[in-house]
Amino acid sequence: MSVDTRPQQISSFGRARRSFRDWRGRRPFWGGLWTLLAGIPIMYIPYQTMTLGDLHIRLATTAGAGSLIIGVLLVVLGLTLWFQQQSRIFAGVAAILLALVSLVVSNFGAFLVGFLLALIGGALGVSWAPGKPVAAVVAGEESGEGDEGPQGERPPLSLTKETNGRHRAD
């Protein structure tokens, strides 16, 4: 028996890791994570009290409730990106807009940390697109479907004005 024909021993950790990888691949995981993490400093920093020796510095702003609402909304939008992939465009745009609002409301977007995380997370959420299933890709290649012509070869590319991709603009 060769090494390749032996059945693999998969532990419960290996199954859980593979299951998490499959779950992560079907949604804008990183966009949701960055958006979720952006809400934490925006919620926390305006209510934080720092101490330097005997000096207590309170960073509470007049819009402390606004920064709390923005932070909670960013956390909810991050979870929305994970569990409702159909609304990824809305959640991404809303995260970007809340990041811009947090600059004014929440101590420069919680000292630019939450602002940058929300911008990156929202952009990743907007730009994510679901992939094609593997079986559909393989079937499309075998049947000759796709961008190719009826003979199975691609038409020549032209950058001139008289063609628009595949057809001539007569």
- pLDDT, position 90: 94
**Could you tell me where the DSSP H helices lie in the chain?**
12-25, 29-44, 64-83, 88-105, 107-111, 113-127, 134-143
- In this prediction, residue 2 carries a pLDDT of 58
pLDDT at 72: 93
Per-residue pLDDT at 14? 83
The reported pTM is 0.67
pLDDT given for residue 35 in this prediction = 94
Distance CA(63)–CA(16), nearest Å, equals 43
Average pLDDT along the chain, 170 residues, taken 10 residues at a time: 60 86 88 93 79 75 78 94 91 94 79 90 91 64 53 58 54
